[in-house]
Structure formats: structure tokens, C-alpha cells
Amino acid sequence: MTTIHLALDWTPNVNHIGFFIAKDLGLYEQEGLALNIINPADDNYQVTPGKKLELNQADFAIAPFETVISLNNKTNKVDAVAVFAILQNDLSSIVTLSDTGINSPKELDGKIYASYKARYEDHIVKQMIVNAGGTGNIEISYPKKLGIWNTLLEGKATSTWIFDNWEGVEAESKNVALNTFKMGDFGIPYGYSPVVLAKKSKIHENKELYKRFIKATKEGFLYAQSNPSESVDILDKYAGTYQDIDLTRTLDVTAEHFGDAETCGKMQAKRVTSFLKWIVDNGLESEAILEQTLFTNTLID
């Protein structure tokens, strides 16, 4: 068996279900692989998944597409590339509690936004507010990453960024009403998130090995669609410790967004380019990113 190390972007949740299924059902073993899952709770997110990839602590890392751009354009460049899109559609939102009475991003002016300090995040939120008719003048706080959601629930921040299929479902199950604002509804062509990253050099050295990892992973996500009950039981083994949430509901609202046998994991050049152009147009990166190879579908059969 060859051990593959995968760094998660967050504590175990429905976006990771395909990996857990493939591990639990022996799909990786069938490919001659053993999967070691690295949970960010183990170090309280002191080292990001992108950094773990950079330091060769992980063969694969889960992160938003922005991390690929960042790694390729930092001073000490990392030859990272996105190899698998977990979701085919954007399931993230900027949210507020409904009882705040904020019904548009423009009303976030002067309010506190709890940020993950992710690449471009603060600019995206400010630009969303501007595009909605506001000034983008907000106060930004940087709580500990694993506590940001609670910051919103406790009223220490007015808004934050969530996954609709995780924190959104948790809010729903606790009868916490949210107002949600989608990037695409306010002129921001957001890219893929989360994606699986690897180093180009490592792919070159281990292409067949990495293809076997992606093959088993894809089978895991497709299994989740056709076997929801069994899949939720597997997810519960990993996620139950961390979240009080209706796992059946999370999978129900997520499964279709994994794609089908043809599209699962794949990324479209048009969508990636649209996001990259938006980043360039907003002065966040130079035009060099438009010429870089930041994703590949070559590991997906």
C-alpha cells in the first residue's frame, strides 16, 4: 500500500463525504492506496492546507480555487494546480441573521464582517456591497477560523461567509433564519470551491498513482448520490464529533452538485477564466495569472 496524505480545508463535513466513503468502503485499498486524512482541528488551523501542500506534509490539499492562484504567485512560488472540483456549483454565501433586518449587501456598510482572512475574501465582500449600492466601508474582524460561525450566532459579527450545505443546514435545523447573498447575484463570477490541489511536479512523478486516488475519490462521491443512507452513516463516523447537524439534510442539498459520471470533479475553462479576469480587472493580481495553468482535468477518467 502507498499512503496518500490529504489535508482537509475544514473539520469533516459533507463536502468531504466522497473521501470518507472511498476510505471506509476500501475503494482506495482496491487501488493499492491507504489514505491519511489530516484534520485542521488537530493543530487548530495553525497551518493551512495550502501550506501543508507546500511543505510536502500532504500530497493533496482541499482549498478554494483562490489558494491555487496564491501559491503560484507568491514570492516562493509553489507549482500547485487544481485537479478535482468537489462541487460543480457555488454553494457558498455571505449571510446575516434575518432578525438583523439586513436585506441587501449594501446594508452591511458600517457593520462587522467576520473574515477567514482568505485570499481576496475581504475584497470580494466589499465589492459585493459596492455592487449592491453601498460604499464597501465595513469593519473586518479575524476571529479564530474554527469559531467564526459561532461569532455570527453570538452577535459578535453581523455577517460572514458560509457553505449553504453545512452551516446553512445547521442554521435551518436550529430554526435560525438567515438572509443569504450569493456572489453571482451581485456581479462576481466566483470560481470553484472547494477544490483538490496537488503539485505539478508530484503529478509528473506519480501520475498513475494520483489518477488511482482521483478514481477512487470520484467513485466515493458518486456512491454518495445513489446510497444516501449508507453514506450518511459513514459521514457520521467522522463529522459527528464536531457538529450538531442534520447530516441527512446536508447530503440531500449537496449530492446533485457533485455532478454525474461525466462531470464529477471536472472544471470548465470558461468558468475559471471568468473568475481570473475578474481578479485582474479588480487589480488583485497581474494579467500573468491568465496565462498560468492553474487547473487540470487530466487525472479524471
Kindly report, as residue ranges, where domains of CATH 3.40.190.10 are found in the chain.
2-87+192-291, 92-186
DSSP-derived pairing of the beta strands 80-85 and 92-97: unpaired
| Mean pLDDT of the region 245-263 | 95
How does the average pLDDT of the chain come out, rounded?
95
By C-alpha distance, which of 30, 45, 37, 27 is closest to 4?
37
Could you tell me the pLDDT band of residue 45, with boundaries at 50, 70 and 90? Answer: confident
Chain centre to alpha carbon of residue 203: 21
90: three-class secondary structure by DSSP: coil
Please tell me the predicted confidence (pLDDT) of residue 147.
87
Could you tell me the pLDDT band of residue 242, with boundaries at 50, 70 and 90? Answer: low
Beta bridge partners of 92: 163
State the fold for domain 2-87+192-291: D-Maltodextrin-Binding Protein; domain 2 (3.40.190)
Beta bridge partners of 162: 93
pLDDT digits (tens, 9 = 90+) for 69-94: 999 999 999 999 999 999 999 999 99
Widest distance between CA atoms in the chain:
56
Please tell me the predicted confidence (pLDDT) of residue 118.
86
Alpha-carbon gap, residue 218 to 230, rounded angstroms = 17
Please tell me the predicted confidence (pLDDT) of residue 145.
82
Q: How many CB atoms lie within 10 A of CB 40?
A: 21
Could you tell me the pLDDT band of residue 241, with boundaries at 50, 70 and 90? Answer: low
Alpha-carbon gap, residue 34 to 149, rounded angstroms = 33
Could you tell me the pLDDT band of residue 195, with boundaries at 50, 70 and 90? Answer: very high
Alpha-carbon gap, residue 267 to 263, rounded angstroms = 8
The shares of helix, strand and coil residues in the chain, as percent rounded to the nearest 5, are: 45, 15, 35
- In 112-257, which ranges are E strands? 112-114, 139-141, 159-163, 178-181, 195-199
- Percent of the chain scoring above 70 in pLDDT: 99
Question: How much is the pTM?
Answer: 0.94
The yes-or-no verdict on residue 180 having pLDDT over 60 is yes
pLDDT digits (tens, 9 = 90+) for 117-169: 988 999 999 999 999 999 999 999 999 888 899 999 999 999 999 999 999 99
Specify whether domain 92-186 bears CATH 3.40.50.2020: no
Beta bridge partners of 198: 81
The yes-or-no verdict on residue 115 having pLDDT over 60 is yes
- Percent of the chain scoring above 90 in pLDDT: 92
Task: Return the residue matching grid coordinates 461567509.
Answer: 161
Q: What is the dihedral of CA 90, 148, 81, 53, to 10 degrees?
A: -150
Chain centre to alpha carbon of residue 173: 22
